[in-house]
């Protein structure tokens, strides 16, 4: 492959049911600042669509972005009405202190299981929470021993072979941290 790789994620976008609740969740509870709100009307897919697009900033300059449409028909057409699944989620890297602080703010705001839960993956500890639209947000804290340069390089070097092995039917776990 030639050329330059993309430098970072610019943003990832989702449709929300309620931008006010989404703003309160991501800014007040999770701690991501609202860095831009774009109110727009565009000719999209054969019709004029009016929407609001909010960006919540991450320290590297990337963002989580959420749309809400002015017309109920557009909201229904593009809305977040996917069946909830823990395998479709946003995952953000945090340190243990940040994870603990978010967990405390969520508890104080009344978030309880099943809206929030923790999984110990071995190589990381993940706090999962459902946002106001039903999207799952994962706040992941890597285990220090899982991010040593030698292990990171070894995982990168074996990634294709691990995938090929799994696709060929060998579903043996390679998570040595569990």
Residue 90 to residues 15, 21, 129, 136, 160, Cα–Cα distance (Å)? 13, 17, 10, 6, 24
**Contact (Cβ atoms closer than 8 angstroms) between residue 71 and residue 91:** no
Q: What is the pLDDT of residue 133?
A: 86
Q: What is the pLDDT of residue 1?
A: 54
Instruction: Report the run of H or E that residue 98 belongs to, with start and end.
Output: helix 96-108
Residue 64 to residues 14, 27, 57, 58, Cα–Cα distance (Å)? 8, 11, 7, 8
Question: Which tens digit of pLDDT belongs to each residue from 93-106?
Answer: 999 999 999 999 99
10 Å Cβ neighbour count for 150? 7
Shortest CA distance to 29 belongs to which of 107, 88, 114?
A: 107
CATH of 1-81, one of 3.10.180.10, 1.10.3720.10, 3.40.50.300, 3.30.70.330: 3.10.180.10
Q: What is the pLDDT of residue 51?
A: 92
Q: Which residue positions in the chain have pLDDT lower than 70?
A: 1-2, 82-84
90, β-bridge pairs: 137
Q: pTM here?
A: 0.84
Question: Which tens digit of pLDDT belongs to each residue from 72-124?
Answer: 999 888 877 766 677 788 999 999 999 999 999 999 999 998 889 999 999 99
* 3-class SS of residue 178: coil
Shortest CA distance to 93 belongs to which of 134, 54, 126?
A: 126
Instruction: Report the run of H or E that residue 136 belongs to, with start and end.
Output: strand 136-142
Q: What is the pLDDT of residue 5?
A: 76
Separation between Cα atoms, residue 101 and residue 165, nearest integer Å = 40
> Residue 11 phi/psi, 5° resolution?
-160, 165
* 3-class SS of residue 25: helix
Residue 65 to residues 5, 14, 16, 48, 55, Cα–Cα distance (Å)? 22, 6, 10, 21, 4
Counting every residue written for the chain, the total comes to 178
């Amino acid at each position: 492959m030639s050329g330059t790789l993309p430098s970072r994620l610019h943003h990832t976008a989702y449709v929300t049911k309620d931008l006010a609740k989404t703003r309160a969740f991501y800014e007040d509870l999770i701690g991501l600042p609202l860095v831009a709100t774009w109110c727009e009307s565009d000719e999209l897919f054969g019709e004029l669509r009016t929407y609001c697009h909010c960006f919540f900033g991450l320290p590297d300059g990337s963002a989580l972005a959420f749309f809400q449409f002015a017309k109920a028909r557009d909201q229904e057409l593009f809305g977040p009405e996917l069946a909830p699944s823990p395998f479709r989620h946003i995952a953000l890297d945090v340190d243990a202190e940040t994870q603990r602080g978010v967990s405390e703010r969520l508890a104080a705001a009344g978030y309880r299981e099943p809206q929030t839960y923790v999984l110990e993956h071995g190589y990381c500890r993940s706090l999962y929470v459902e946002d106001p639209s039903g999207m799952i947000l994962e706040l992941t804290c890597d285990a220090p021993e899982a991010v040593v340069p030698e292990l990171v390089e070894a995982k990168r070097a074996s990634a294709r072979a691990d995938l090929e092995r799994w696709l060929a039917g060998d579903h043996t776990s390679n998570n040595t941290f569990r």
